[in-house]
Amino acid sequence: MKLNGNAVKPGNVIEHNGRLWTAVKVEHVKPGKGGAFAQIELRDIRDGTKLNERFRSSETVERVILEESECTFLYDDGDNLVFMHSETFEQISINSDMVGDSAAFLQDSMVVTVSSHEGDPISVQLPDKVVMEIVEADAVVKGQTASSSYKPAVLENGVRVLLPPHIEAGTRIVVRPENSTYVERAKD
């Protein structure tokens, strides 16, 4: 699908220079002299490299629509993560680098969204929130104010997070996988 250069919005996936890019930031510039253009910060879908590109309104870019499918996480076999497509039940093996640091939050039978282009998996999106158990939490230091102080803790998957001082080891909490931040105490 063709788009004018100034019609690209953040989040759009475009094909440019033979690679797939996600538009991260779009800024429309109208200089005093010359025609208007869109200054777009692009991030490569596969390797994460960034590129700043200018597109005039007369230029066209190819917008790519990704196929999204729900898959269930089965297991980790070292370098690859194995998922099962929810509708076709076929197994998909994806390199763990594609998931990045969020791979530590994958749990058995977790449903994720796999985006693919022409049958080739490009990205894996975990749920917004995951429930994890705290295995180790530092003691509270007397005299700290409860409103602004957080203490370090370690989750069952080995990831370190910052918690409010009233939460102890053994407690189940809700965490955001994309940035490993505490959300709230889990409701059992």
Instruction: Look up residue 33 and give its DSSP letter.
Output: S
* Residue percentage of the chain with pLDDT more than 90: 33
* Contact (CB, 8 A) for 28 and 6: yes
Q: What's residue 132's pLDDT?
A: 93
pLDDT at 13 > cutoff 80: yes
Q: What's residue 141's pLDDT?
A: 66
Q: Which residue has the higher pLDDT, 82 or 4?
A: 82
Q: What is the C-alpha separation between 99 and 114, in angstroms, rounded?
A: 10
Tell which residue, 18, 17, 14, 24, has the closest CA to residue 66: 14
Q: What is the C-alpha separation between 140 and 121, in angstroms, rounded?
A: 45
- DSSP conformation letters of 79-136: SEEEEEETTT--EEEEEHHHHGGGGGG--TT-EEEEEEETTEEEEEE--S-EEEEEEE
